[in-house]
Structure 1
């Protein structure tokens, strides 16, 4: 059972990593009239959080969690949630794009 879960988790990680590369091919829709200031502020925030800041924080979090898991000071299930959280953070654009496509928007 444990080997099945490990293989399943590895397959999920591979799919999420492959799906994240498709996010750059999205076509932007027209923005509402007068939203340029708000939109530019939100895009700046997204670029900041998804760029170097998020990458540095994710690397430190995964390294710290991995070290604590290896030394037996952290529950493996809690450590896995941190790593899955990093996948969700970096795959957020793809996840939202998939939801919008599924809803027909």
Structure 2
């Protein structure tokens, strides 16, 4: 049998991984100057995507998809994709905070 990776390459990769530090993108920094308009726009978008309108639309989408799945007019896999998308959309804040906590630890 041939070796897929030589011992030297494996040792080098292990040493590089052990010496790796925190990435620049993971460092928490203050907002740059002049970003207040962009930041307020993004905050508005977040409020719209996670607000009452989005909740009502998601409830109607899940109800419609569930009814179509029960009557056999939609494949169960596509229906599960819609429902999973709603979970990801509304759970995005929790998912990101979990990733940030894991990256900081």
Same fold (TM over 0.5): yes
In the superposition, the TM-score normalised over structure 1's length comes to 0.65
Q: Is 2:39 the counterpart of 1:36?
A: no
Distance in 2 between residues matched to 1:33 and 1:89, nearest whole Å: 29
Distance in 1 between residues matched to 2:103 and 2:34, nearest whole Å: 26
* Residue matched to 1:81: 81
Number of equivalences: 77
Distance in 1 between residues matched to 2:48 and 2:77, nearest whole Å: 30
Q: Which has the larger radius of gyration?
A: 2
In the superposition, the TM-score normalised over structure 2's length comes to 0.65
**Partner SS state of residue 31, structure 2:** coil
Q: Is 2:93 the counterpart of 1:93?
A: yes
Q: Using CA pairs below 8 Å that are at least 6 residues apart, which structure has the higher relative contact order?
A: 1
Q: CA deviation at 1:64?
A: 0.8
Q: Which runs of structure 1 show a deviation greater than 6 angstroms over 4 or more consecutive aligned residues?
A: none
Higher helix content, 1 or 2: 1
Distance in 2 between residues matched to 1:77 and 1:48, nearest whole Å: 28
- The one-character-per-residue Cα deviations of 1:40-63 (angstroms, maximum 9, x if unpaired) are 111011101110221122011101
Listed as ranges, the matches of 1:4-15 within 5 Å are none
**Partner SS state of residue 38, structure 1:** helix
Listed as ranges, the matches of 1:35-74 within 5 Å are 35-74=35-74
Two-structure CA RMSD over aligned residues (Å):
1.8
